[in-house]
Amino acid sequence: MLGKEKAGPVSNRAFGVDTAKLQNRYQQLQRLVHPDFFSQRSQTEKDFSEKHATLVNDAYKTLLAPLSRGLYLLKLHGVEIPEGTDYAMDQQFLMEIMEINEKLAEAQSEAAMKEIESIVRAKQKELSDNVSKAFEQDDFEKAKEILTKMKYFSNVEEKIKLKKIPL
């Protein structure tokens, strides 16, 4: 078996995902393992169903979102981003995040919120494209750096969602 790589548990480790195919496959798998279809079965089969339905749900959620998908791919390659670290973020990037957070805190109108949301969405798209390229080139350190930035923008996205919720 010279020249052949051992097949791992994941056959396609590319960052890019066809979300329509992902959703279709998710629905197919759910139809196979959903607990509702096992209500009249043995306890062993019910347990099997519950366990595998949870795995299918978790896999779908992980692969659907670019940030969680990227973090998962890094983990498959033995690279992790420790929680609570800024992973040597450059000062310019941190200033950019601070400015966006300040604008968000000061935003009083829906138009101001939409503008911030648009900026963050564009940044996430750019970072997502860049992390895809990093994975294509097997540059896991670059992917790690980009995913760390995506985490910051993801936090801003959460703050935007929270600010939109009326009290």
Residue-wise pLDDT tens digits, 26-54: 999 998 998 888 888 888 988 998 999 99
Under-70 pLDDT residues of the chain: 1-13, 84-88, 166-167
Q: Cβ neighbours of residue 52 under 8 Å, at least 6 residues apart?
A: 33
Query: CB neighbours (10 Å) of residue 120?
Result: 19
pTM for the model stands at 0.80
Residue-wise pLDDT tens digits, 116-126: 999 999 999 99
The pLDDT of residue 11 is 43
